[in-house]
Structure 1
């Protein structure tokens, strides 16, 4: 198991560019199955999940080639609708292949996907949505098999705005006959990026970024080039790191409008936020805060992102006062509180609610990353702790952050990977 070793209490300064968003790149890579000619994707991060998705596409018959920060996909030779079980277990995002494969080949087969253990994430909504478009679903020896003689537009009304299920039905609808209306759709920026990609292929998508999306399918989707949007979660991770440690950094390729709520909270606590343009922000912090109780509750976009909750908790450890975090998206997403307490954090938590007593010193020790975003939170906490912290589970963190140690060192952090 790899480790990050961090020596804290260093002020961060300089410029960092945010990579393309993993959570946008993965469904868009899945959507290349729909294309009739080669596709070129720009600014795709070099992460394990991206490499696994490339392997899945290759197993289905596609030609996939990484060219620097670009990925070339030629889907014309896809002839297999079975997602390999061993790859499905490595990455939850492989579930995104169900909709595109069903639309293109009339069949799709997969096992229950793997991923971070942060709570129940069943695929029921994915299957429900695809059934509304005409899929027939059955279980065969522990595998889910979907078949369709042709997909037809319909109304899909989600009981919960699931990001993954919205993306899956959006892709399937792109080749379905007629119009599909998705009600109570997820509104995340990654949904909008996928919709823009599908429009470039030739589908008609209206309302992406709202709870009501309409898709007019096109059975003859073409080819395109597309640049992946910047990773808002990665951007916020760097921003919260400098806010907690103190410093002055410029964050590039950061879509300011993609982080609603974060800016206001940081400004209220005295962190200076300067929007240099729509994709560049300057963050200046003294790393010292007046007592101020903070309360947040995670929610689907545009609410406070559950993927930012652990990193924000680490930041609150620097702010004197009693803070409340309520996790409303995943029932097991407070596991990092145990590890933060090893660093000296004063936190009382159950599965859904955490009380954070901020303003107390942290001290280096050995901790383990329980999941991707919790691991990022531990890195940020180590940056403000006295002494040396060893964070085990580097591979878990690197699922979402490319060259994290190198990029933090470029800002002045004392961190090495081993």
Structure 2
């Protein structure tokens, strides 16, 4: 287990470069096994989830070479192999191997996924999609066993009960090589879905409508990588650094962003009174003045992202008056960072899954625990704001989602160290 040790209260200044999107990367790596030729991914973030996914690829004799920000994946000698529950439980995104293996081999045997504990995240929509394509899905010895019929999967119309990113990704991967056309209705619209579709289309897949609520996939016999794919910038990492810059920054420029991916978040931050100048692919965040409280409600894209409700929380604590409200409509139970912030002196509480935030003039260092990735980000920002020393236990969760975070913070002037507990 890792610890992040922060000596806070120091204004941060300078430039930070955003890495490739975690939520794209964790679907693109499993999708790479659909290719009949080696794959090159560029702008890959240095995060623990990438290492875990590479471990799973090695279980299937898939060769990987990760240097700087470029990941080469060679699936040409891949073998069908049940993926062990122990490694699967280390990250939820491992469930993308269900769709990828089903599309490549017509069968997948995968342990039940793990990852962050942020409330119920059922995979019933994934299973509904696989079954609509003709697959059988069974639970055998705490493993999900998915099998295509003898003639292979067949395209179908699939109407999702909610716009699930995970289900949309898995159905796309399973249907790329299915017979006929698959139509996903009420599909997720996130930029990461578009990134996946672009990656697969460049390998010969036929996917239309990504980024809208109706996606059409015409199955092809096989796909093969021809050109490197550059992963889009991580909008959640960018939003986290925007919050950090407004909380404790003395002028920070954030590079490698796609501004429109952050529209809902930027609108809320600017409503608070944060002043931001936008350039072609960067933002400059000015030191915050008097900020006002706002109400935040998370919703599917293009609404306010659930992954940004925790990173914006320390910024709300910086407001001068009023009461801030955070309602997470995606994961209402995503409130485990609140008691940890209270340890640091935050005037914040939860009532009926609604987070109520009041101005907090001073945070103090404390020993806290990062229960999941974005909770860890919230505590990290609070620790940088606080007087004294903050120790974040289970900082492994921060490393799962934030590219070279210690290096980036130090370049901004932070006194931060990550070490073994």
Which TM-score applies when normalising by structure 2? 0.96
Question: For residues 340-362 of structure 1, what are the alpha-carbon distances to aligned partners after superposition, in whole Å with 9 as ceiling and x for unaligned?
Answer: 00011111204620110124321
1:354 maps to: 355
Question: For residues 91-138 of structure 1, what are the alpha-carbon distances to aligned partners after superposition, in whole Å with 9 as ceiling and x for unaligned?
Answer: 111110111211211111112111011111121111111111111112
Which SS does the other structure have where 1:76 is aligned?
A: coil
Question: For residues 201-249 of structure 1, what are the alpha-carbon distances to aligned partners after superposition, in whole Å with 9 as ceiling and x for unaligned?
Answer: 1111111111111111211211131011111111111110010113211
CA contact (8 A) 2:40 2:73 kept: yes
Q: Separation in 2 of the partners of 1:350 and 1:370?
A: 20
CA contact (8 A) 2:8 2:384 kept: yes
Q: Separation in 1 of the partners of 2:50 and 2:386?
A: 32
Q: Separation in 2 of the partners of 1:390 and 1:143?
A: 37
Structure 1: tracts of 5 or more residues without a match: none
2:166 maps to: 164
Which SS does the other structure have where 1:58 is aligned?
A: helix
CA contact (8 A) 2:38 2:73 kept: yes
Q: Separation in 1 of the partners of 2:66 and 2:2?
A: 25
1:32, distance to aligned residue in structure 2 (A): 0.9
Alignment of 1:326-405 (within 5 A): 326-350=327-351, 352-405=353-406
Question: For residues 119-177 of structure 1, what are the alpha-carbon distances to aligned partners after superposition, in whole Å with 9 as ceiling and x for unaligned?
Answer: 11121111111111111112222221111131111111100111111000011111111
2:287 maps to: 285
CA contact (8 A) 1:61 1:80 kept: no
| The 10-residue stretch of structure 1 (401-410 or 202-211) with the greater mean CA deviation from structure 2 | 401-410
Which TM-score applies when normalising by structure 1? 0.96
Distance 1:109 1:351, change over 3 A: farther
1:209 maps to: 211
1:200 maps to: 202
Q: Separation in 2 of the partners of 1:296 and 1:168?
A: 30
Question: For residues 293-334 of structure 1, what are the alpha-carbon distances to aligned partners after superposition, in whole Å with 9 as ceiling and x for unaligned?
Answer: 310111111111111111111110001221111111113200
| The 10-residue stretch of structure 1 (254-263 or 189-198) with the greater mean CA deviation from structure 2 | 254-263
2:11 maps to: 11
In the alignment, structure 1 residue 234 sits paired with structure 2 residue 246: no
CA contact (8 A) 2:119 2:333 kept: yes
Q: Separation in 2 of the partners of 1:217 and 1:360?
A: 58
Q: Separation in 2 of the partners of 1:164 and 1:332?
A: 19
Q: Separation in 1 of the partners of 2:28 and 2:81?
A: 18
Q: Separation in 1 of the partners of 2:43 and 2:185?
A: 31
Which SS does the other structure have where 1:370 is aligned?
A: coil
Distance 1:108 1:357, change over 3 A: same
CA contact (8 A) 2:323 2:356 kept: yes
Alignment of 1:3-402 (within 5 A): 3-148=3-148, 149=150, 150-224=152-226, 225-277=228-280, 279-286=281-288, 288-290=289-291, 292-320=292-320, 321-350=322-351, 352-402=353-403
CA contact (8 A) 1:11 1:245 kept: yes
Q: Separation in 1 of the partners of 2:187 and 2:337?
A: 30
Q: Separation in 2 of the partners of 1:351 and 1:141?
A: 37
Q: Separation in 2 of the partners of 1:358 and 1:160?
A: 35
1:406 maps to: 407
Q: Separation in 2 of the partners of 1:265 and 1:351?
A: 23
Which SS does the other structure have where 2:279 is aligned?
A: strand
Which SS does the other structure have where 1:119 is aligned?
A: coil
1:65, distance to aligned residue in structure 2 (A): 1.6
CA contact (8 A) 1:81 1:101 kept: no
CA contact (8 A) 2:6 2:390 kept: yes
